[in-house]
Structure 1
Amino acid sequence: MVITERPKGRIMSASQAVRKTLLAFTILSGGGSSAAWAQTTPDAPQGQVSHVKSAKGTPTQRSPQIKAPSRSRSDNEASGREVLTVTGTHIANSRIKSPTPVSSLSAQEIRNQSPTNNLADLVNQLPQFAGSVTPQNSTLALSSGLAGINALNLRNLGPVRSLVLLDGRRVPASAITGIVDINTLPQQLVKRVDVVTGGASAQYGSDAVAGVTNFILDKTYTGLKVDADSGISNHGDGQNEHAAIAGGFGFAGGKGHVLLSGDYAHQDGIFSIDRGWNRNGDRIVANPAYAAGNGQPYYIRVGDAGTNNALPGGIINASTGGVTNALRGLYFGQGGNVNRYNYGTLSTSSVSVGGDQALANNNVNLGLQPESDRKNLYGRLSYDVAPWMTLYGEGSYNQSEYIYNAGPQYLSSIAIKGTNPYLVDALGAAALKNVTGVTVGTTALDMPYRQIDNYRTVQRYTFGGEGNFTMFGRRASWTAYAQYGVMHSHEQINNVMNTAKIANATDAVRNSAGQIVCRSSLTDPGNGCAPIDWLGTGVMSQAAIGYVLGNPWREQRFQEIVSGVNLSTTPFATWAGDVNVAVGGEYRDERASGYVPTEYQKGWSVGNYLPTFGNYNVKEAYLETAVPLARGLAFNGAVRATDYSTSGYVTTWKIGGTWQPVRDILFRATQSHDIRAPNINELYNAGTSQTTTVLDPATGKTNTVLSTTTGNPNLKPETANTTVVGAVITPRYVPGLALSIDWFHTKIKHAIQQFYPQSIVDECYQGYTTFCSAIRPDPSGTRDLLISASPFNFAKLETSGIDIDASYTFPLRRILRDAGGAFTIHGQASNYLKYVSDSGMGYVVDTAGDITNGPPKWIYRFSATYSAESYSITAVARGISAGNYSNSYVQCTTTCGAYNANYPSINNNRVPGNFYFDMNFTYKLPVRNVGAMQLFLNVTNLGNAPPILLPTSGLEADSTYSNLLGRTYRGGVRMEF
């Protein structure tokens, strides 16, 4: 964090700003409105050109604005003591060239390019982010409480390793995992987003292993602005509306300032998928032609496939007694009519190719987009109580609710006795002669779909002070603050099956009067059990549905108290220049509590909620310095001492330097040692569960499992070493051109991670008994298996790659003599060279380029903007490179090697990349008595390109890097008074 005083001078008009910025080259982000990588410094007095040192060490200039600048307090009103926050260092000297790469998004860029009314959607387009949690990809986050959260993920290292700041301070978490929902921030007041791509624990503390994203507010805004917009998809669904208002004013002769904002957003849910791309029927199945040594791949990828072991009205998958499996393939339709299933040209225990594969139709019945409502309120009051002190108080309140369709019920192995009266009535006694039972699979069309309803509120209250004073004969800066944040969530899953009641309702008999009843009711008539008919559609009674379904819920509370002090000064100088020093400390206390009714704590197919209780605190102190060594050469270093109540003392550090031998090029490098302590969820999670499927590597059979995850109080902090080496080139002979290239490498030891069901099964098959002990049969028979897992410190996580960032801006008159305005081209790309999770269990998979398990090889984003006095046009091209469905597979068609559970062979493992083209149009209306009025239209995915298709059941598309809605439109108006 850099704190610097705003010098006195008048605010330039829009036309003056345009003319002045066209006098010198600028390094711009894609919106053509602010310097890419640039640290913010005060505007120059009128008549001067303001050059600043960017975070990448390049001189930059203010860029043209397409609208009148926001009317922040002029220096006639301000006291001259206003402080500004800049990301990347605590040194209070804007001329320091940070050795750490910092990328920036400006307010103008956010306005021009944001595809939705969620700021996180734009930030996540930056190539440095991969695998973030979004409302789109958390549809099946049934028990984790994360559904609906927009959490940033730098370098694909996990949102828990990416620290989110607001004006340099921690943001209260939106879940007990500690991750932050970006939607809780006052988005209309964000004037810049800075992204530090490198380990920053020594400067900012734990969780900054992958880097920091700092949202900077316009805290001195004066005036009133109102935004309103609405959007819809090309298919006529997914309608959304958004309105926001923000205002600020000064008082007491400019000593005080008040800032208020509020916004509301609503989005319609899309609870079925009618897109054509969702019917491709790609699946991965065990190759029936495979035999040891015959050179065939163990798995094959097929099309025109569908689920055959669970149909809307039920299908018999197996029968016992009599002629074993004689009844397999009988399925039940409307009213219970009986049909024979056609298993097609290729069939496994769960998938058919051709034939009646389309009967399941499960992929259409998943939700594509949640229904959501979001409300935000924010207020800030500041007052200059002394020439060296400004006190302030902030408060914010966020309320959000996300409702998902999580798809139909899914039971692949319901055990029905041969004497069950519904079965006898459907097939006849003769067909069931000597049959002791059947196993039925169903998606229970008669039952309502499962639904996630996550409601949460997040509150934050901050009190602090900041200012400048003289120390050692030079200006020093200080900040101090205390902050309280609290999150309340109500996590509910509607229409969940109770396993004990399912068993009771399935065990049906006839009573003495010939009526079909539950067997348990014969001995306990008042137990409320209603018999259930699984055999057909339109046959289940409402009494049975009401008996077996419930709505488990959990209330969770997360509190965070943070206080910190920072001091930056220049104690002395050497022959090479001023030596800058920053010192500070921080205290943080986090605690979780919750409540779950006893009846919802166990016995459910999913959502067996338990409340999580736990707490820890941490004390930290840091020292940072910036030392000029020689002409063009400077050193930057930081060290932090941290003491956790749960895991003890750790030290983090960072060293770096810059070298600028000539004006045109700057070299930089950093080496950091970072830590992340386990969060409350990892330590104390009382237990969450979800139903999923796993593939048995021995048989190729798909099994339904209930996976339960608990915390591990024995976890230790993970440690990381990060190296970044790069250069920034700004050639004088091409004014307006800037290029940066950075190589990064991060290696995390004792990484806190957990294995998921499929990996646990694979590891058990390889002979690791620790994993086998986590697997057991489901005694209720509702699922095939129960799997238990908890996080632990495994061997290491390692990633490396290259970031490339290039921009070029120039006045259009360079090309067309009499043309006005400016043109900006900006390209960003990240190339992941390596991404390895080494469990220490004997095998390693590099998942770089693995679309489902790791970051893509390439993530890129290019933009071009033309800005004139009254309008601007922006085009954005973005996407990811082609890759593999899973890097664990070995692709081959002939002469395939022997079967290996960790690296099985497959005939086709490739997944195409994607490419999206977006357009934005803005037009400034000449309206009297209004400071500025602007109309805008965003068109996302202009080419209506489909998402990346995956060979999976259910949603047949990647939901992390792909656009699922198709072409969407969003238009609105912005007004400023």
Structure 2
Amino acid sequence: MKNTRISKFKYAAAPMAIGLALIATPSFAQDSAADETTAVEEDAIVVTGSRIQNPNLELSSPVGVVTSEELSLRQTNTAETFLRELPGAVPSIGSAVNNGNGGASFVDLRGLGANRNLVLLDGRRVVPADSNGIVDLNIIPLAVIERTDILTGGATTTYGADAITGVVNFVTKRNFAGLEAEISNGLTERGDGNQLRADITIGANFDDGRGNAILSIGYQEQDTVFQGDREFSEFNIGSFTGAPGGSSNSVPANIRGPISGQITEDGLSVGPFDRPFNFNPFNIFQTPFERFNVFSAARYEVSDAVEVYTQAMFSKQTVSTKIAPGGSFFNTYTFNYNSPFINDTIGNQICAGAGVLTPAQCTAALNTPFGPTLPDGSANPDYQTFQASVRRRTVETGTRDSAYTTQLFNVMAGLRGDISDNISWDFSAGYGESERIERQSGYGRLSRIQQAILNLPDGSCVDSSNGCVPLNLFGLAGSITPDQIGFSFGQTQQVINTTTLATANGTVSGDLGFGFGDEPIAFAVGGEYRKYTATRLSDEASQTPGAVVGGGGAAPDISGGYNVYDAFGELSIPLFSIATIDLGARYSDYSISGGEFTWKAGGTLTPLDWFTIRGNYQRSTRAPNVGELFTPVSTSLDNFGFDPCQGSAPVNNAQLEAVCLAQGAPADSIGEIEPPVAGQINVTTGGNQNLGVEKATTWTIGALVEPEFLPGFSMTVDYFNIVIKDAISTPTPGDAIGVCFNNLSAASATDPECTRIRRNPLDGSLSGSPDDTPGLDLPLTNRGFYSTDGIDLSLRYKTDLTDNLGLSLSFDGTWTNKNVFRSIPGGVDRNCVGFYSVNCASIQPEFGFTQRTSLDFGDDFRLSLLWRYIDAVQYEPLQFAEDVAAAERANRDVNGALLAVDDQECPDFNGADDGGCLIEPDFRSIGAKHYFDLTGQWNITDAVTFTLTVRNLFDSLPKVVGSDIGTTAFNSGNVYPSTYDALGRRYAASVKFRF
């Protein structure tokens, strides 16, 4: 007789859920409704976390499920938007990321990186988005998704590398017959951020039910929401001061060398930079997105023993990002003294500065004319040049725009059948290609800017070839003409990322026909082949360091690939209906890193009909991906808030001054080095072909409770623990700075940990041209270490209050004890759970939950309230301690004696707040956040359903913490928009037709 208790948990109980059979309105629920059980048993079974295709399988690994009904209540347009809100996930790159969005959206389970979890479609791999091997969630066709399984634990034994922290498996509808059309639209209360989604799905059974085919076509678009359209983000705020902040790349220009000052309406204001450019209004909170997708699948029973099946997917999408206008930025340029754009006021102040010329020689050089034929400047004393970093924001050009257009197709075909009544086979092969083209506009070209600023007194270019138009970097806003823009900033850049994935998989599964009790021993054995290639092809400017001004770093060409052969096996051994033992092993032979063996062991114990204990232990590995292996080393931007050499810090500190000088800062920059511009500094990193595999151990232990004395109630609780050794990683900026500056000594100036930091040779900062300012050295190695653990809890309850009124309650929460990262052996253990800083990317609260309450008024109307909770977080204590140490170094009297450091305000050195500031006190914590989403769903007829949702019902606004306190991708517009809702209250409505 069929074991109905085991069948109820055939997909394994969730770490955050139990039993859709018990709940009509799941939030993160177990998918095991009775009618779906029959459908699954009649067709192919998708069991996430195992290759054993057994409807009675009860896995020892917890698997959570989000159903299509839940997505309907949330009015979700993309997979990323609901996955980032799950308590067991951390927001990754998605629609709320602007500067740092590469045109794709990812999921990050447990906060250990999107490259350590795997995204599947019906249990099979999908072609990834780029050289990092990560699948873009924007391609998932939600209209045909029946459920989404989330296994948040190691799964490399079942699926191979990339699944150290788990898998997200999107399971499509089976045997769909009829026509379903849905259109939805959403809008914020402020009248912006429109989101549109339209899908039509048609399916049919044919040949007396032996075959089925489904076709789904969808269209989506969403509009831009600018940071300037919200009061809390209209003006940039400095995290260290609480005062107006922004970038020193300003308008009018900020000059560094041979004199430091800022151009004003009256000439040149010599001294510290105090007029930052407010870049916030140009940036966006919601990236515009447009997508067209087609999904099809079919199956046909050729005979009683063989079925053929196919699946194909096509997607074309464009994700657009916008950032503030570009300009000349931090590069060092060569100017001629007698340029017509250097007026007498500015010229005289330049001559009064510390330059290579005497004041008299400088004055003569300013006024020396020369003819259209320019002699060799090095041999002509009448033609003199000087070098300077003229940081001029070219607001006349408009924003810097990037459009990422992705075209992807993924096809799969297979055969499956039965060898006997209890043993089946399945063979499939697939191939996918993805091409993402990035087109950039609004950026300057270094060579053209340099050509355009060397000008004859008559206003023409010294080098007039290729139609050069002189460029005026010394004028006020509006002084740069369209012709000047066209020559120096009118070029576009293009980068093409292409990936391919070819797979072949064969599995034999079933049972042995005998066992220890009523259920036989189940097994699965098989093999898998994968070939993955990735390339990045850039135009000449994009791949040349520094050639594109303001582009954030070069995009050098990448070309690489690997193949892997796998052999795997699994056993599930039931023991007299009260216990199960799960065993699994996989051997993988990588062409890039050799052979690796992974294994798992787990089991369940059911001492009582209503109580089950489960546990699982796995040894997992992850091989390096193409990007980690083959990306050339180059200089780009990263985030950092406080430079130990900035301002007055090194003035009366001989050891600190010696280190700053040893790192390349010129002597005359000491005391005047500026803070990181817009919270960003140069870093140098890239791939490493000597990388080996990561090694991880993951284990879980938990319980499933369904008490007989409380019908309709269920609970799961699971403890998880993940440790990764030999992790492929780079040091954080805080680690790279701290290993040098935290323990200064007389020998620090020659310490390699200090001298590998290289500063701008003109102004001593960590910003500048990649050619001469490598910044921090962040090598990619196998020296990293990760460790995280915590508890998932899920509660469910359903009851009928009256004959026509039903109540459903669900709760899914995750408590994370720690998430520790150590970049080098013996280095700092940096824990980011509950903390935020430039060292901690996206916020991971210690505790978070979702709770849904639903009232069902018969079959006609449902009223549902979703409560999302995010625990309070605070500024990272370790980084704050480093800030205090830097403030102490800066806060000294003229004799070098240490003064008291007041942690409530910026230390004031000789009247200038440019040394040793601490984070503004109000920005050092973010309180707990509660969001409520209310949904009403009407079944107007059997064929028509109308849904209305109000998200962020009480219009809760995000906490302002300034724009330099975290990483650019996640700390933007003075807030953390991926974690906290920056759009405000919004409304969504949809109508679905079924025929």
Does the pair score TM above 0.5?
yes
C-alpha distance in 1 between matches for 2:686 and 2:882: 39
What residue in structure 2 maps to residue 453 of structure 1? 403
Distance 1:662 1:476, change over 3 A: same
What residue in structure 1 maps to residue 242 of structure 2? 303
Q: After superposition, what is the alpha-carbon deviation per residue over 1:200-234, rounded to whole angstroms, capped at 9, x for unaligned?
A: 11111111100111111112100000011111111
Distance 1:532 1:36, change over 3 A: closer
The offset of 1:508, in angstroms, is 3.6
What residue in structure 2 maps to residue 889 of structure 1? 879
Question: Is 1:615 matched up with 2:565?
Answer: no
Distance 1:861 1:223, change over 3 A: same
C-alpha distance in 2 between matches for 1:895 and 1:208: 40
C-alpha distance in 2 between matches for 1:781 and 1:744: 44
What residue in structure 2 maps to residue 919 of structure 1? 934
C-alpha distance in 1 between matches for 2:854 and 2:177: 28
Is contact 1:697-1:762 (8 Å) kept? no
AA matched with 1:195: I
Question: Is 1:664 matched up with 2:610?
Answer: yes
Is contact 1:552-1:609 (8 Å) kept? no
The offset of 1:770, in angstroms, is 5.8
Superposed, which structure 2 residues align to 1:361-376 within 5 Å? 361-376=278-293
Distance 1:481 1:773, change over 3 A: same
- Greater CA drift, 670-679 or 700-709: 700-709
The offset of 1:893, in angstroms, is 12
The offset of 1:92, in angstroms, is 2.5
Question: Is 1:821 matched up with 2:805?
Answer: yes
C-alpha distance in 1 between matches for 2:675 and 2:883: 23
AA matched with 1:847: C
What residue in structure 1 maps to residue 138 of structure 2? 183
What residue in structure 2 maps to residue 545 of structure 1? 485
The offset of 1:597, in angstroms, is 2.8
Question: Which of these residues, 857, 868, 879, is aligned with residue 869 of structure 2?
Answer: 879
Question: Which of these residues, 704, 719, 724, is aligned with residue 743 of structure 1?
Answer: 719
Distance 1:109 1:502, change over 3 A: same
What residue in structure 2 maps to residue 591 of structure 1? 533
What is the SS of the residue equivalent to 2:592?
Answer: coil
AA matched with 2:815: N
C-alpha distance in 2 between matches for 1:26 and 1:537: 62
Is contact 1:671-1:721 (8 Å) kept? yes
The offset of 1:822, in angstroms, is 1.9
What residue in structure 1 maps to residue 657 of structure 2? none
Question: Which of these residues, 946, 951, 955, is aligned with residue 957 of structure 2?
Answer: 946
Question: Is 1:226 matched up with 2:181?
Answer: yes
Is contact 2:19-2:32 (8 Å) kept? no
AA matched with 1:258: A
The offset of 1:543, in angstroms, is 2.5
Superposed, which structure 2 residues align to 1:65-104 within 5 Å? 82-104=43-65
C-alpha distance in 2 between matches for 1:573 and 1:897: 72
The offset of 1:859, in angstroms, is 2.1
AA matched with 1:739: M
AA matched with 1:516: G
Question: Which of these residues, 122, 134, 157, is aligned with residue 82 of structure 2?
Answer: 122
CA RMSD for the aligned pairs? 3.3
The offset of 1:134, in angstroms, is 0.7
AA matched with 2:596: V
C-alpha distance in 2 between matches for 1:534 and 1:861: 55
C-alpha distance in 1 between matches for 2:882 and 2:635: 37
AA matched with 1:917: F
C-alpha distance in 1 between matches for 2:958 and 2:22: 24
C-alpha distance in 1 between matches for 2:280 and 2:249: 13
Question: Which of these residues, 522, 525, 528, is aligned with residue 580 of structure 1?
Answer: 522
Distance 1:781 1:645, change over 3 A: closer
Is contact 2:735-2:828 (8 Å) kept? no
Is contact 1:151-1:159 (8 Å) kept? yes
What residue in structure 1 maps to residue 459 of structure 2? 516
Give the TM-score taking structure 2 as reference length.
0.81
The offset of 1:370, in angstroms, is 1.9
C-alpha distance in 1 between matches for 2:755 and 2:343: 42
The offset of 1:538, in angstroms, is 0.7
Question: Which of these residues, 447, 470, 481, is aligned with residue 530 of structure 1?
Answer: 470
Is contact 2:682-2:768 (8 Å) kept? no
The offset of 1:93, in angstroms, is 2.2
What is the SS of the residue equivalent to 1:573?
Answer: coil
Question: Is 1:571 matched up with 2:512?
Answer: yes
Is contact 2:27-2:850 (8 Å) kept? no
Aligned-residue identity in percent: 23
- Equivalent residues, number: 860
Q: After superposition, what is the alpha-carbon deviation per residue over 1:345-376, rounded to whole angstroms, capped at 9, x for unaligned?
A: xxxx66x6xxxx6x622222212222211011
Superposed, which structure 2 residues align to 1:777-926 within 5 Å? 777=760, 782=769, 785-787=773-775, 789-813=778-802, 819-839=803-823, 840-852=825-837, 853=840, 855-868=844-857, 869-890=859-880, 908=921, 909-926=924-941
Is contact 2:19-2:31 (8 Å) kept? no
AA matched with 1:597: D
Is contact 1:880-1:913 (8 Å) kept? yes
The offset of 1:383, in angstroms, is 0.6
Q: After superposition, what is the alpha-carbon deviation per residue over 1:658-685, rounded to whole angstroms, capped at 9, x for unaligned?
A: 1111122211111110111111111112
What is the SS of the residue equivalent to 2:836?
Answer: coil
The offset of 1:128, in angstroms, is 1.0
What residue in structure 1 maps to residue 370 of structure 2? none
C-alpha distance in 2 between matches for 1:691 and 1:308: 14
Question: Is 1:419 matched up with 2:337?
Answer: yes
Q: After superposition, what is the alpha-carbon deviation per residue over 1:502-529, rounded to whole angstroms, capped at 9, x for unaligned?
A: 233334441xxxx2233x42xx655625
The offset of 1:789, in angstroms, is 4.3
Is contact 1:248-1:260 (8 Å) kept? yes
Structure whose residues are more often strand by fraction? 1
What is the SS of the residue equivalent to 1:443?
Answer: coil
Give the TM-score taking structure 1 as reference length.
0.82
What is the SS of the residue equivalent to 1:732?
Answer: coil
Distance 1:526 1:252, change over 3 A: closer
The offset of 1:30, in angstroms, is 11
What is the SS of the residue equivalent to 1:683?
Answer: helix
Question: Which of these residues, 491, 500, 511, is aligned with residue 559 of structure 1?
Answer: 500
C-alpha distance in 2 between matches for 1:132 and 1:894: 30
C-alpha distance in 2 between matches for 1:501 and 1:426: 26
The offset of 1:761, in angstroms, is 4.0
Is contact 2:226-2:285 (8 Å) kept? yes
C-alpha distance in 2 between matches for 1:527 and 1:281: 38
Is contact 2:257-2:389 (8 Å) kept? yes
Question: Which of these residues, 175, 193, 200, is aligned with residue 238 of structure 1?
Answer: 193
What 5-or-longer segments of structure 2 have no aligned partner? 8-16, 356-385, 648-673, 743-747, 892-902, 904-915, 965-971
Distance 1:785 1:884, change over 3 A: farther
Superposed, which structure 2 residues align to 1:387-402 within 5 Å? 387-402=304-319
Superposed, which structure 2 residues align to 1:678-757 within 5 Å? 678-686=624-632, 690-691=636-637, 694=640, 695-699=642-646, 701-704=674-677, 705-755=681-731, 757=733
What 5-or-longer segments of structure 1 have no aligned partner? 8-24, 45-49, 53-71, 74-79, 285-300, 344-348, 814-818
The offset of 1:947, in angstroms, is 2.0
AA matched with 1:486: E
The offset of 1:432, in angstroms, is 4.8
C-alpha distance in 2 between matches for 1:871 and 1:900: 65
C-alpha distance in 2 between matches for 1:919 and 1:418: 65
The offset of 1:384, in angstroms, is 0.2
- Greater CA drift, 724-733 or 419-428: 419-428
What is the SS of the residue equivalent to 2:960?
Answer: coil
Is contact 1:885-1:950 (8 Å) kept? no
AA matched with 1:94: P
The offset of 1:96, in angstroms, is 2.5
The offset of 1:617, in angstroms, is 0.4
AA matched with 1:425: N
The offset of 1:891, in angstroms, is 6.4
